[in-house]
Amino acid sequence: MTIGWSPDMFFMNQLYYWCKSNQQLMDECFRASGGVRPKWDEVHASDGATYGKMTIEKVCRTNSDTFGGRYVERG
């Protein structure tokens, strides 16, 4: 784990790569992981942004490497 990163940031960084920076998909995968705490949906900014939204946006601002392959289709 990168020093100074929360577990949320570390996991979201992985989701950024695998979700090809799709913010909605990143949020859906994070929620499906079972790791969401009530804090995720709490407002943490004067503009009404939640902790989750701010976390996703920060990861998207600080990354550029995404999965370049194709996803396997479920049969």
Alpha helix (H) ranges present in 3-74?
7-18, 23-32, 51-61
Mean pLDDT of 24-32: 96
pLDDT band at 2; cut points 50, 70, 90: low
pLDDT band at 19; cut points 50, 70, 90: very high
Q: What is the pLDDT of residue 5?
A: 64
Contacting residues for 12 by C-beta, under 8 A, at least 6 apart = 26, 30, 55, 56, 59
Q: What is the pLDDT of residue 70?
A: 85
- Token digits for 61? 């601002």
Per-residue pLDDT tens over the stretch 30-67: 999 998 899 999 999 999 999 999 999 999 999 999 99
